[in-house]
């Protein structure tokens, strides 16, 4: 746990901000939704105290890895930092490269796979359900 996060937990006032070092959030393991290859996940928003209104993550899909096709119940954005891939949404596929973003819509069945010789590194963001 980062020192910044630990200090926020110890305080009695609501946090004005949280600063997170991605190195404190890294996890290695199979890619989600089908365990197709290996990935590195930086579950950055997991370090933010609840309630939080959205998720913000970074993921590296190693060569040959994919986030398997799965239904989503919220809009979701994949933004490519490096590498190349193909995004899938309801049977349609489009190539992705650094600097491109795929906005995926609630109700679609989506997935993304790494292509080429280097890992695909993404930022992924999506809303959480309202908490109350």
pLDDT of residue 1: 47
pLDDT of residue 50: 83
- 67 beta partners: 112
- pLDDT tier at 10, thresholds 50, 70, 90: low
What is the torsion angle, in degrees rounded to the nearest 10, for the CA atoms of residue 119, residue 69, residue 126 and residue 108?
140
CB neighbour class for 131 (10 Å; exposed up to 12, middle 13-18, buried from 19): exposed
Q: Are 62 and 80 in contact (CB under 8 A)?
A: no
- Interval 43-50 mean pLDDT: 91
pLDDT of residue 14: 67
Rounded to whole angstroms, the Cα distance separating 4 from 83 reads 32
- pTM reported for the whole predicted model: 0.86
38 vs 3, higher pLDDT? 38
25-127 is classed CATH 3.40.50.450? no
> For the segment 48-102, what is each residue's pLDDT rounded down to a tens digit?
988 889 999 999 999 999 999 999 999 999 999 999 999 999 999 999 999 999 9
* Buried/exposed 18-32: b ≥16 CB within 10 Å, e otherwise: eebeeebbeeeeebe
The domain limits of the chain are 25-127
pLDDT of residue 129: 80
Rounded to whole angstroms, the Cα distance separating 98 from 85 reads 10
- pLDDT tier at 3, thresholds 50, 70, 90: very low
pLDDT of residue 121: 98
């Amino acid at each position: 746990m980062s020192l910044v996060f630990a200090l926020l937990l110890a305080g009695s006032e609501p946090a004005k901000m949280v600063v997170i070092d991605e190195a404190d959030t890294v996890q290695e393991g199979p890619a989600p939704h089908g365990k197709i290859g290996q990935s590195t996940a930086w579950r950055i928003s997991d370090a933010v105290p609840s309630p939080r209104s959205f998720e913000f993550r970074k993921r590296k899909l190693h060569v040959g890895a994919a986030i398997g096709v799965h239904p989503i119940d919220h809009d979701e954005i994949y933004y490519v930092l490096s590498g190349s891939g193909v995004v899938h949404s309801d049977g349609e596929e489009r190539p992705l490269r650094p600097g491109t973003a795929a906005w995926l819509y609630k109700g679609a069945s989506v997935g993304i796979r790494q292509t080429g010789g280097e890992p695909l590194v993404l930022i992924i963001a999506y809303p959480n359900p309202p908490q109350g």
